[in-house]
């Protein structure tokens, strides 16, 4: 149940991929090293990944080149309240992204992500149920550079609280193999 264990996240990405309809146009925010879009590239018509980390975007581009994937692109950009995009997508995805940014920005960006797409898929941290889960999650977050944002996200009621602040009540929630990670589908 270690959040950063590659095998654990791989099964979550498999689950996320299953929600995406073949031939779709997809945008992913906070795409990190691009692993999810790379996994989706054989199934979708186009994928755009955005992340503020140049190091991760450079890595994602290298992986894309070596896999010969021509239908996915990666852009290094900081997402925030200034974000505009005149394109529309079939699916918009954000995985483990909304706890790393300030709550007001998360509320703004969830609404923006939903405007951009037919269907929004969010994979996010949720309330841990046992002491062990609580400790694993705390250890995972405590030494990250976004710990203060995680604490504010937790106080806001995790992803469910953020979605309620956005005014959404009509969303579906799915468990994943990681007990404190859930998938939310809007609308
Ligand atoms: C916890 S990682 C999740 C990475 C990947 N989506 C996953 O599921 O493993 C959060 C990512 O969000 C990116 N990020 C944080 N704040 C951002 C911002 N304001 N704009 C764009 N990317 C951001 C970080 O660089 C990092 O790659």
Q: Is residue 124 part of a domain?
A: yes
Residue 6: the pLDDT is: 55
Ligand 1 pocket test: pick from 52, 75, 178 the residue with the most ligand atoms within 8 Å of its Cβ.
Answer: 52
Judge whether 166 and 111 are in contact, CB under 8 Å.
yes
Angle at 179 between CA 177 and CA 184, to 5 degrees: 80
Beta strands 181-186 and 117-125, pairing class: antiparallel
Q: Is residue 100 part of a domain?
A: yes
Residue 137: the pLDDT is: 94
Number of domains in the chain: 1
The enclosing domain of 12 has a CATH number of 3.40.50.150
Q: Is residue 1 part of a domain?
A: no
Report the separation in Å between the CA atom of 79 and the middle of ligand 1, taken as the mean of its atom positions. 10
Residue 151: the pLDDT is: 97
Ligand 1 pocket test: pick from 28, 100, 137 the residue with the most ligand atoms within 8 Å of its Cβ.
Answer: 100
Q: pLDDT tens string for the chain (187 positions)?
A: 556 655 578 899 999 999 999 999 999 999 999 999 999 999 999 999 999 999 999 999 999 999 999 999 999 999 998 888 889 999 999 999 999 999 999 999 999 999 999 999 999 999 999 999 999 999 999 999 999 999 999 999 999 999 999 999 889 999 999 999 999 999 7
- In terms of residue numbers, what domain contains 69? 6-186
Please give the Cα distance from 7 to 106 (Å, whole number): 27
Residue 176, ligand 1, Cβ within 6 A: no
Q: Is residue 22 part of a domain?
A: yes
Residue 152, ligand 1, Cβ within 6 A: no
CA 101 to ligand 1: nearest atom = 16
Q: Is residue 72 part of a domain?
A: yes
Q: Is residue 64 part of a domain?
A: yes
Residue 161, ligand 1, Cβ within 6 A: no
Q: Is residue 16 part of a domain?
A: yes
Q: Is residue 61 part of a domain?
A: yes
């Amino acid at each position: 149940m270690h959040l950063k264990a590659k095998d654990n996240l791989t099964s979550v990405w498999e689950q996320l991929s299953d929600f995406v309809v073949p031939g779709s146009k997809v945008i992913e925010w906070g795409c990190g090293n691009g692993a999810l879009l790379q996994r989706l590239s054989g199934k979708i018509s186009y994928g755009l990944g955005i992340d503020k980390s140049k190091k991760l975007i450079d890595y994602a581009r290298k992986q894309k080149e070596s896999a010969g994937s021509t239908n996915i692109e990666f852009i290094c950009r900081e997402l925030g309240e200034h974000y505009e995009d005149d394109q529309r997508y079939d699916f918009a995805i954000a995985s483990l992204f909304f706890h790393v940014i300030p709550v007001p920005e998360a509320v703004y960006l969830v609404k923006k992500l939903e405007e951009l797409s037919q269907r929004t898929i969010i994979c996010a941290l949720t309330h841990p149920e046992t002491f062990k889960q609580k400790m694993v999650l705390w250890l995972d977050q405590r030494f990250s550079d976004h710990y203060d944002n995680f604490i504010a996200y937790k106080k806001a009621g995790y992803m469910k609280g953020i979605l309620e602040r956005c005014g959404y009540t009509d969303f579906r929630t799915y468990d994943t193999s990681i007990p404190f990670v859930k998938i939310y589908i809007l609308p």
